[in-house]
Amino acid sequence: MKRDSKLSGVLHVLLHMAESPGPMTSDTLAAMMQTNPVVIRRILAGLREQGFVQSEKGHGGGWQLSCDLARVTLRDVYEALGAPTILALGNRTEAPGCLVEEAVNAAMDDAFRAAEALLLARLGEVTLAQLSADFHRRLQERPLCPANPH
């Protein structure tokens, strides 16, 4: 089953931007994420609308953070991405004509709602500043190799 890694990827990009002394180009960010610069620009444009990042055109331009890491939660970023579907699981049909399937759907719907609420609550408890602090702790324990500064 294919997993949606957009949130994880965006958090990765945001933390790299937090570590950068200046703007980062879409090309640089795309190379880090092994994707196309157009994908990066499309994602960051949505984050710009929420005030998380800003961009400058021209020589020396690029993307940079425009938010306080301590005030932005993972849930904020998730919502800025359009709140993509959290679970890949779902009911076989949403309007079953079978009483057995209605019972199955009711049980599954309860489980799905509970799982989603738990995950969203947890995402709301973690800030970008906490992710950054965790990165710095890990960096102290295991410095980056010049051959792999990522």
pLDDT digits over 6-42, tens only?
899 999 999 999 999 999 999 999 998 899 999 999 9
pTM of the model: 0.82
Cβ neighbours for 60, distance < 8 A, ≥ 6 positions apart: 22, 23
- pLDDT at residue 133, as a whole number: 96
- pLDDT at residue 95, as a whole number: 78
Q: Could you give phi then psi for residue 73, rounded to 5 degrees? A: -95, 165
d(CA 22, CA 91): 47
3-state DSSP assignment of residue 116: helix
Q: pLDDT category, 1, cuts 50, 70, 90?
A: low
d(CA 75, CA 128): 10
pLDDT digits over 42-92, tens only?
999 989 999 999 998 888 789 999 999 999 999 999 999 988 888 777 888
